[in-house]
Amino acid sequence: MDRISNLPDEIVFQIGSFLSAKEAAFTTVLSKRWHHLFTIVPDLHFDGSVKDGESLTDFVDRVLALPATCRVNKFSLNWWFDEDTEPAQYDRINRCLRHVLKRGVMVLTLRINGVEAYTLPSEVFTCETVTKLSLGCHFAIDSLPQNALLTGLKTLSLSYVRFYEFGRCAFKALLAAAPVLEELTISGVNWQLWKWSRTVSSSSLKRLTIMRNEWDSFDGSDFKSISFNTPGLAYLYYSDYVPREYLYVNFDSLVEATLYLCPEENYMWGEGDEKRFRPMNLLNGLKNVEILNLYTIMTAKMFYVFREALPVFEKLSSLYVSLSNFCWSPMPMLITKSPNLKTLEINGPLHNKNFYYCEEDSVCECVSEYSFFLSCPLEVVEINDYYGSPVELIQMKHFLEKLSCLKLVKVHSQATGKYKVKLIGDLQRLSRASSQCKFEIVS
């Protein structure tokens, strides 16, 4: 009895996806229905940086030799053009891509380090089967075809890709052509080279990652504004320089945000910047966030400098702030504006960078007597860099005496041996407003 013949088509195809084309061909002697397996190529991959015995020409010829009935699940190409590359090579690459796009490819990864003469084939932007598209790097997308439509695209990754605007913005057109897009990653952001509308607009987008990988040679003179029209966005990771203004921000559905923002190269936020920058729309757009990660002291300082524009973060339950070795100036306003805050994680010492040389009874002037903690519902405080110095103990004392809802203080420390024993003993002896408060020491 041929049990394989009784399996549903989707199960047969799934089995075939684990086989190479050669192995799938051999299985056709077992059952007529297994002839379908020969039409499945699960993965086609070429990496020009790895010497695996196959040249780009051989790879392209192999792809072009695929029969018309063959289906490709995943296709990836990693290749560097140079200034001596013949235009005919561009044509061969694009013929290869067109061949794959006609064969139902679902995952398309193109890392083509192109020169100015190279342009992606327009069929990349009209393929209905692609669900995940990764494009990079160092080539430009001048325009999209008028019929651009990626009906299945859910994940889009752009790395060091430049966009231009000729009649209509290519980047804006790309997002408009992806009606079900859920995840967008933009890495290698360089606003001097991106000639686009600087508007991220998508009603379907749920996750957005923007990463600046190079933090030098930045000329902010041309970085005037940016807008976010993403009403369905739930997760945001945003690492970049701050523009002069955020014209429009819609983050109404935002649940979690990680921010790594600074005004300019080698520059710290300070008084008077409210006349140079207008990030108020961004700050107000975060009002519904539940988890907020202020990844650097520069980001935390931005919240302090523009504190008058801060909304009340009614839904914020978890706050991560990196203070490094700086003072606590951003903290009172942030905590006061977060009436439902339950978890506070601090990356850095509890006092400023000179805490070893401070008087034992000193506290950071920016927080005075920590009165802002009296009405705070914090239940968990986590400190990632605790030394157990006398000044830190004073800071901790204010935590424990003011936070009446506190249940757990989690301390990360490198102390060992007798130093760890002393650190634990000093903490345990501190009085607490909450009888439920426990300590957890993590080495």
Least reliable range by pLDDT among 201-210, 219-228, 337-346, 401-410: 219-228
- Which of 340, 362, 384 delimits the end of a domain? 362
- In this structure, the answer to whether residues 210 and 105 fall within a common structural domain is yes
pLDDT confidence of residue 76: 92
Instruction: For residue 395, tell me if it sits in a domain.
Output: no
Give per-residue pLDDT as tens, 256-300.
999 999 887 656 776 667 778 899 999 999 999 999 999 888 888
Instruction: For residue 133, tell me if it sits in a domain.
Output: yes
- In this structure, the answer to whether residues 200 and 112 fall within a common structural domain is yes
How many structural domains compose the chain?
A: 2
* Domain carrying residue 6: 1-40
- In this structure, the answer to whether residues 66 and 4 fall within a common structural domain is no
- In this structure, the answer to whether residues 29 and 119 fall within a common structural domain is no
- In this structure, the answer to whether residues 157 and 15 fall within a common structural domain is no
Residues 6+ apart with CB under 8 A from 151: 128, 179, 180
pLDDT confidence of residue 438: 93
- In this structure, the answer to whether residues 186 and 90 fall within a common structural domain is yes
- In this structure, the answer to whether residues 72 and 154 fall within a common structural domain is yes
Report the percentage of the chain scoring pLDDT > 70: 77
pLDDT confidence of residue 24: 53
**The pair of three-digit structure tokens given for residue 100, joined into one six-digit string:** 């794959």
- In this structure, the answer to whether residues 164 and 45 fall within a common structural domain is yes
pLDDT band at 89 (very low <50, low <70, confident <90, very high): confident
pLDDT confidence of residue 294: 93
- Which of 362, 381, 398 delimits the end of a domain? 362
- For 89-99, what is the mean pLDDT? 87
Give per-residue pLDDT as tens, 15-62.
655 555 455 555 555 565 555 554 666 688 888 766 666 777 888 888
pLDDT confidence of residue 86: 67
Least reliable range by pLDDT among 142-146, 159-163, 252-256, 262-266: 262-266
pLDDT confidence of residue 110: 92
Q: Which residue has the higher pLDDT, 304 or 220?
A: 304
- In this structure, the answer to whether residues 137 and 161 fall within a common structural domain is yes
- For 124-150, what is the mean pLDDT? 91
- For 333-344, what is the mean pLDDT? 93
Burial class from Cβ neighbours inside 10 Å (0-12, 13-18, 19+) for residue 417 reads exposed
- In this structure, the answer to whether residues 124 and 255 fall within a common structural domain is yes
pLDDT band at 161 (very low <50, low <70, confident <90, very high): confident
pLDDT confidence of residue 360: 46
Instruction: For residue 379, tell me if it sits in a domain.
Output: no
Name the CA dihedral angle for 282, 287, 288, 289, rounded to a multiple of 10 degrees.
70
Instruction: For residue 401, tell me if it sits in a domain.
Output: no
CATH of the domain at 121: 3.80.10
- In this structure, the answer to whether residues 325 and 292 fall within a common structural domain is yes
- In this structure, the answer to whether residues 227 and 310 fall within a common structural domain is yes
Instruction: For residue 319, tell me if it sits in a domain.
Output: yes
